[in-house]
Amino acid sequence: MTKIHNVTIVGAGLMGHGLALVHALGECRVVMQDISAAQMDSAPKLIAVALDTLIDGGAVKAGERDAVLARISTEPDLTIAVGNADLVVEAVAEDIEIKRLVYSQIAEAAPDHALLASNTSHLDIFPLLPDTLKARSGIAHWYTPPYIIDLVDLVGAPEAGPEVVETLRALYAGMGKKPIVFAKFAPGYVANRLQAALGLEIYHLLDSGIATPEAIDDSIKYGLAARMAFLGHLKKADYTGLGLVQQIMSNAAYSPPPVRKQSPTIENLVGEGRLGVASGGGFFNYAERPPAEWFSARDRALLKHKALVEKIEREDPM
Ligand SMILES: NC(=O)c1ccc[n+]([C@@H]2O[C@H](COP(=O)([O-])OP(=O)(O)OC[C@H]3O[C@@H](n4cnc5c(N)ncnc54)[C@H](O)[C@@H]3O)[C@@H](O)[C@H]2O)c1
């Protein structure tokens, strides 16, 4: 099995900088590469802010800060950046031609033993790989912010042996993450597909005037998510009793809304420039604090919530 010590992150954007931090926290030496000079400049600063959030939240010891940061370097030339890699993590934009180009450059310049892991969300990257990469590639798909959210979706390339995914699984499990191995690629894996299905119903309820944004988020926070956070869905069904689940399914007056490509509610908000936290408003208002404060409050809340779920699992395993 390939021993992973040197990791190169190609694409240092929203996900790439977070993935650089994840691997550095996991004791790897990390080289970050991006074609954008602005991104190469901002990524190390974003990493330092994220690391401080983890330290403030008690997830990383303050004494480890300098050593973690010292394990991360930047290199603008992709050929040099991947030249010593055991693992190349691809986090460039979800665009067929950009990903195809990057894979051909990696195939040319990375060592023969190096594995490739793509963070693709919906694009099937396996047909884009050059032949020389096919047997040593896979997908490792993360959730933002990846230095807090533990889920990692893993899929091996059809031509790769099981050892490729097993190497990634062992690496990330060793970092305390929750890797899940899928037999084959399905756009959105499980979590994003469930989110998409939920989104269809949510925008239907909003657009039909059946529920307000407050009613929808309160229903999730105080109902659905309260149980899901430690039971998931299927274990919750076991607690409900499968006889009742069977009855609800067979009697259901529920029919799901049709798949739509647009929601008038979202079109209106976007048209008004209400793009979410970063713009000071979306479904809700965020004008009273700068966006960075909201994001850091979210990250602190995620860390506390994660610690609580871990405590429940330790003390009251179900
Ligand atoms: N944003 C998310 O929440 C999220 C979550 C999971 C997976 N993903 C996936 O991760 C990947 C990256 O997404 P992101 O949100 O970080 O995008 P992003 O736009 O923030 O970052 C992409 C980076 O790739 C760089 N890039 C473009 N062409 C390049 C090239 N030829 N060589 C090197 N760098 C290049 C860009 O300059 C940019 O910095 C996508 O496949 C996306 O689907 C995103």
Using CB atoms within 10 Å of the CB of residue 122, give its burial: 0 to 12 exposed, 13 to 18 middle, 19+ buried.
middle
Taking CA atoms only, the protein residue closest to ligand 1 atom 8 is: 121
Residue 16 CA: nearest ligand 1 atom is 16
Sheet holding 151-156, edge to edge: 72-74, 29-33, 6-10, 87-90, 115-118, 137-141, 151-156, 178-182
**Rounded to two decimals, what is the model's pTM?**
0.94
Which of 1.20.120.1200, 1.10.3330.10, 1.20.210.10, 1.10.1040.10 would CATH assign to domain 191-315?
1.10.1040.10
Q: pLDDT in tens for each of the 318 residues of the chain?
A: 789 999 999 999 999 999 999 999 999 999 999 999 999 999 999 999 999 999 999 999 999 999 999 999 999 999 999 999 999 999 999 999 999 999 999 999 999 999 999 999 999 999 999 999 999 999 999 999 999 999 999 999 999 999 999 999 999 999 999 999 999 999 999 999 999 999 999 999 999 999 999 999 999 999 999 999 999 999 999 999 999 999 988 977 788 899 998 999 999 999 999 999 999 999 999 999 999 899 989 999 999 999 999 999 999 998
Taking CA atoms only, the protein residue closest to ligand 1 atom 13 is: 93
> For residue range 273-307, what is the model confidence (pLDDT) as tens digits?
999 999 999 999 999 999 989 998 999 999 999 99
Distance 91 CA to ligand 1 centre (A): 5
Within 10 A of 269 (CB to CB), how many other CB atoms are there? 18
Q: Ligand 1: which of 8, 10, 32, 34 to mutate, judged by most atoms within 8 Å of the beta carbon?
A: 34
Q: Are strands 151-156 and 137-141 parallel, antiparallel or unpaired?
A: antiparallel
Helical spans, DSSP H, in 1-89? 14-25, 37-56, 65-70, 78-81
Of 157, 82, 77, 141, nearest in space to 113 by CA: 82
Write down the pLDDT at residue 254: 83
Q: Ligand 1: which of 14, 17, 192, 193 to mutate, judged by most atoms within 8 Å of the beta carbon?
A: 14
Residue 92 CA: nearest ligand 1 atom is 24
CATH 3.40.50.720 for domain 6-182: yes
In the block, tokens 């050929």 appear at: 79
Distance 242 CA to ligand 1 centre (A): 42
- Per cent of the chain over pLDDT 90 is 94
Taking CA atoms only, the protein residue closest to ligand 1 atom 43 is: 121
What would the two tokens of residue 5 be?
Answer: 């010590």
Domain-by-domain residue ranges, the chain?
6-182, 191-315
Distance 95 CA to ligand 1 centre (A): 9
> For residue range 183-238, what is the model confidence (pLDDT) as tens digits?
999 999 999 999 999 999 999 999 999 999 999 999 999 999 999 999 999 999 99
Asked if 166 and 1 touch (Cβ cutoff 8 Å), the reply is yes
Residues with CB under 6 A from ligand 1: 10-16, 33-36, 39, 78, 91-94, 98, 101-102, 119-121, 141-142, 144
Write down the pLDDT at residue 264: 96
Write down the pLDDT at residue 1: 73
Write down the pLDDT at residue 252: 72
Asked if 83 and 56 touch (Cβ cutoff 8 Å), the reply is no
Rounded-to-integer distance, Cα 295 and Cα 127, Å: 36
DSSP string, 73-117: EE-S-HHHHTTT-SEEEE---S-HHHHHHHHHHHHHHS-TT-EEE
Distance 275 CA to ligand 1 centre (A): 20
